[in-house]
Structure 1
């Protein structure tokens, strides 16, 4: 195989410089630019399309601008949103139950404009031996005695354990309003 002869099994190499005109559009580092345009895809005639690296679909190039600065991205807006949501779910699931509860309740208290003092959900349930304060059943929920929507604070002194049935039937009612829904008969539990 010496002597500078070309190997018959391989085609001779072509120089990238000499064949540049045959290669067509070059893909950018942000994703492959499609070689065709689709008239009327996003209301614009002749808008260029890019291929998303995550879903593999051709979409308008405007779907590949990310963030407030509208920087080019290699993933379409829909895939970036789905990936961000997946990250949030995994992160939230990795937290301890008490930390998840604290973050959720802190946000709810802020939404209602009431005070929030961190407390341990596990300790409240353990103190009451996981018994519902309304019916004595197995408590899996914590209930605000004075609902957040009525100005009740998100503090340990306003929290009692409740079973799912009692907590969901009470909802945002005060104890008096909730008791009135039972009528003259005692509650059905």
Structure 2
């Protein structure tokens, strides 16, 4: 039954464009062919994260609920707070970021993109200072790219320890380049369902 519910949840997100309402295709994507450079990153080779997890959204998209389902399927103890601040880190040992912007989600939260960026930046800085493991997860694919969503990607990767990305969301190599610059491992998977295995493998 859990497997059926999980598949249905993926299907619903895909049919709704993963909740995607990013404004337009990113300039970096449209210019990818002419600006393409060869950047390589390695995947994760050993577990780096510990429980419990604080899971938050970066951009207030519905993707955070999917990431919660993935963590729960792996029996990882977590607290979901889509609007978490530094004060909410509590006893968490790992911060998981579900990266993807949604104008609808931001509106429902009563904030704009700049306020979300301020919250996320402060939270990531606090987690980094407290030496938490930070994992950035971008599962929305191409539908979760564009002017709005792309604001949230760099701050999510700059201090991350590991990233998992669905391939269609990084056709321009933006996230691969950020991971390379940060010197962190990044696993690229074909579908949202494929995120489950590397996410589980990241935990000791």
When normalised by structure 2's length, the TM-score is 0.23
Larger Rg: 1
When normalised by structure 1's length, the TM-score is 0.24
More helix by share: 2
